[in-house]
A = this chain, B = another copy of it.
Amino acid sequence: MQPTNTIRFESFSDGVFAIAVTLLALELRVPYLQSGGFSLQGLAPLVPELLTFVLSFIAIAIFWVNHHQLTQIITIINRRRILWFNMLFLLFVTLIPFVTQTISANTLSRVAVSMYAFVVFGASTSFSLLRYWIHKSADERNISMKRSSIGPIIYLLAIVASVFSSAFAYVLLAIPPLFYFLPKSTTRPL
């Protein structure tokens, strides 16, 4: 493969991230509210939708921040597999709005949580592989995959948990974002 610069690689990825994040909000169902009085009851059905919206927004935002920092390492792409692991990663990112809508329409379904967990597991795993190949392409030796495997492992556990309990699976899905924002771990990409 002819070496190419990373500009379009980044702008295409940014486009996908920006659209995925904006479509999350598009999928919120418009509530029908009463004209008289000021009662917040009509917003009750929005609560699970807003929670899943925020969960997925944070998940995509973390992926973007990590992707942003990863692409700083290289200025030239000289291996076709970097393009294709990025595509695989973006394929899972584009599925996040769909599985978000699936869990907000089927909050109590274990199959729905399982689908969600599977998609973020796919995104997380393909991102770790992309990271590996980008570091490799920068001629680094001894690339540590320790940090990169935390996300995939937790999401894999969430898939397993979803077979038995949707509540436990949700808890596992919330760990990586929380973990990410803990003071000490701020330098650790998931």
Taking Cβ atoms with an 8 Å cutoff, the residues of A that contact B are: 1-2, 4, 7-12, 14-26, 28, 30-35, 37-40, 42-43, 54, 57, 61, 64-65, 68-69, 71-72, 80, 83-84, 87, 90-91, 94-95, 97-98, 101-102, 105-106, 108-112, 114-115, 162-164, 186-187
Contacts and interface: CB of A to CB of B under 8 A. Distances in A.
| Copies of the chain in the assembly | 4
5 contacts: A12-B68, A19-B19, A21-B94, A30-B98, A33-B106
Contacts of A11: 10-11, 14
Contact of A98 (B25, B112, B163): B25
Contact of A106 (B4, B35, B69, B98): B35
